[in-house]
């Protein structure tokens, strides 16, 4: 039986018998929760100085880059995909995320035009979560898929 190196075991949530998918899901949840909180806070701060759509764009752009890199290094570690190709491939997911979150935001603002940035942030959180599930699936199946030799 091969023992994991200290470098890998320090970052792993795995125990003997746990599958790669389980480890990936655990890391993705941790990174996703942190990203959702960061994005919500960044949106809320930016929203005080900019229109909703621009605050959403800026917060989503910053957090998506950080999220993709964290997932590349932790969730899908061991993948042969380098940073630049991973971020370029995640660009399509960024467009989808922006459309979904902006759509939710615009719909909410249509029915509640005088809503506060805090209320907008609360509406965006579920749409961030929905996008996260789609993001995990696409990243795992397309961007970081394991190639059999």
Q: What is the pLDDT of residue 26?
A: 95
CB-based contacts of 102: which residues, under 8 Å, 6+ apart?
53, 56, 57
| pTM score | 0.79
DSSP 61-104: HHHHHHHHHHIIIIITTT-S--HHHHHHHHHHHHHHHHHHHHHH
Distances (CA, A) of 11 to 24, 77, 83, 107, 113: 12, 10, 19, 40, 45
Q: What is the pLDDT of residue 10?
A: 42
Tokens 């200290």 correspond to: 6
Q: What is the pLDDT of residue 6?
A: 45
Structure tokens, 113: 């035009």
Kindly give the confidence (pLDDT) of every residue in the chain, 149 residues in length, as a single tens digit, with 9 standing for 90 and above.
Answer: 544 544 444 444 445 446 888 999 999 999 999 998 999 999 999 999 999 999 999 999 999 999 999 999 999 987 888 889 889 888 889 999 999 999 999 999 999 999 999 999 999 988 988 888 888 888 888 888 766 54
Q: What is the pLDDT of residue 121?
A: 92
Q: What is the pLDDT of residue 80?
A: 85
Distances (CA, A) of 57 to 39, 53, 61, 99: 10, 6, 6, 10
């Amino acid at each position: 039986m091969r023992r994991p190196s200290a470098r890998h075991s320090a970052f792993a949530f795995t125990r003997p018998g746990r599958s790669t998918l389980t480890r990936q899901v655990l890391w993705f949840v941790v990174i996703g929760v942190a990203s959702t909180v960061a994005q919500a806070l960044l949106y809320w701060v930016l929203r005080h100085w900019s229109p909703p759509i621009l605050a959403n764009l800026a917060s989503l752009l910053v957090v998506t880059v950080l999220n993709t890199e964290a997932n590349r290094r932790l969730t899908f570690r061991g993948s042969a995909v380098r940073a630049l190709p991973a971020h370029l491939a995640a660009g399509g997911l960024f467009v989808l995320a922006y459309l979904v979150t902006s759509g939710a935001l615009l719909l909410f603002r249509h029915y509640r035009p005088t809503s506060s940035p805090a209320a907008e942030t609360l509406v965006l959180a579920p749409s961030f979560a929905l996008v996260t599930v789609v993001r995990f699936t696409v990243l795992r199946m397309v961007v970081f898929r394991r190639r059999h030799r």
